Amino acid sequence: MTSIEGAFTIKVDGQTVSNAEDNGEGKIQASFGSEPATFTLIDGRLESNGCYLSRALVEDRSLLPKRVYWFRKEEGNASAIHVVTAKPNGTTCSLLFSGAPLMSSNNLLFADLMQDQGASVEITMV
């Protein structure tokens, strides 16, 4: 499914995905922090605080984990990012970034193409 009704927060391996700290660049790699970002998923676009959270359409071709970035919404980046989908999983759902689940590494957010990291992802409705 490409939409979730209502707003939610995301934790990966117990770490809270936080809003981007603006550094003046067009995209910022997502990280974790104490202040949770509040997301909506509408038509495959994961949004929070005027930004999209997604993988870039243009990536290296390796099977290594792919970086998950914040893209400023006002810059028209919707055409430069992958669609995010939600897959029901019991009482919650998993988020898939172009088919890859989330994982964390060195306090940064990635999409696990090989799906071998086994990260625990928790979505909490707010």
Q: Where are the beta strands (DSSP E) in the chain?
A: 4-12, 15-16, 27-29, 39-42, 45-48, 51-54, 66-67, 69-72, 84-89, 92-97, 100-105, 108-111, 121-125
The pLDDT score that the predictor gives to residue 26 is 75
Whether the CB-CB separation of 69 and 82 falls below 8 Å is answered with no
pTM over 0.85: yes
Please say if the pLDDT value at position 77 is more than 80.
no
Q: What is the pLDDT of residue 46?
A: 96
Tell me the average pLDDT across 39-51: 94
Residue spans per domain, the chain: 4-125
Q: Average the pLDDT over 11-32 and give the result.
A: 89
Q: For residues 80-115, b (16+ Cβ closer than 10 Å) or e, as one string?
A: bbbbbbbeeeeeebebbbbebbbbbeeeebbbbbee
- What is the rounded average pLDDT of the residues 74-87? 83
- What pLDDT shows up at residue 98? 93
3-state secondary structure of 103: strand
Tell me the CATH number for domain 4-125. Answer: 2.80.10.50
Q: What's the pLDDT at 69? A: 95
Q: What's the rounded mean pLDDT across residues 64-87? A: 87
Residue 76: the pLDDT is 65
